[in-house]
Structure formats: C-alpha cells, structure tokens
Amino acid sequence: MKGIGDPWAGAEPGMKRIHRRLFRLNEKIAKLEEEARNVDAELEYHRSIDEDAQRDAAVGNYIDREEAGLTAADVRRFEKTLADLNSKRDALVTKRDRLLTTLPN
C-alpha cells in the first residue's frame, strides 16, 4: 500500500525531490500573484482618492494640501509593496525555471 496517493512514488529519489520543490514553488508563485492582484486593486483605489485630493489641494487650503500629501504617501507605499511582490515572484519564477532545466526530457 506504500505510495498510494504519491504521484512521485515510482520516481527516483532525486526526481521526487525536484518535483516536490517545483510544486512548492508553483504554490508560492500563485500566492504572490493573488496578493499582487489584491494590492493592485487597493492601489487603484488609493490612486483615485489621491487624484481627488490633489485637485482639492490645488484650490483648497492647507488642510487639503496636508491631506493630499497623506494620500500621495499611501500611493507610494502601495506601489512599493506591489514592486516588492513582483520582485519576489520574479525571483521564484527564475528559480523554478532553473529547476525545470534539470528535469529529463
């Protein structure tokens, strides 16, 4: 009964390890992509708010300008978060691609 449910049961130990690593990398990549989609949606929301705040600041008083500075900072923060997620994803994709080259044809 050993090996039931294990898709790599008949593979060599080295191949089993590579397949498991690839599977884990694919899961991590998928999670980062989902998180990036969520952050991107939030970024668009904050950009919209920032556009309104910048217009208000152009014709408003110091409170409007202060609010515009805060919303601009939010946009920069979300842009940085999105860039970091994309960078992590790209690194994992590169790692996955390197592992794929080790698989036999």
Quote the percentage of the chain above a pLDDT of 90: 74
Percent of the chain with pLDDT over 70: 86
Q: Where are the alpha helices (DSSP H) in the chain?
A: 13-59, 62-100
pLDDT tens-place string over residues 8-59: 556 566 678 889 999 999 999 999 999 999 999 999 999 999 999 999 999 9
Compute CA distances 10 → 13, 18, 57, 88, whole Å: 9, 14, 67, 33
Q: Which amino acid is located at 66 in the chain? A: E
Q: Which CATH class is domain 13-100?
A: mainly alpha
Closest listed residue to residue 32, CA positions, set 78, 83, 98, 79:
83
The token duo for 69 is: 């500075």
Sequence-ordered list of residues with C-beta below 8 angstroms from that of 25, at least 6 positions apart, any chain:
92, 95, 96, 99
Find tokens 């080259």 and name the residue.
Answer: 101
- Does position 105 have pLDDT exceeding 90, yes or no? no
In the block, which residue shows the tokens 């989609």? 37
pTM for the whole thing?
0.80
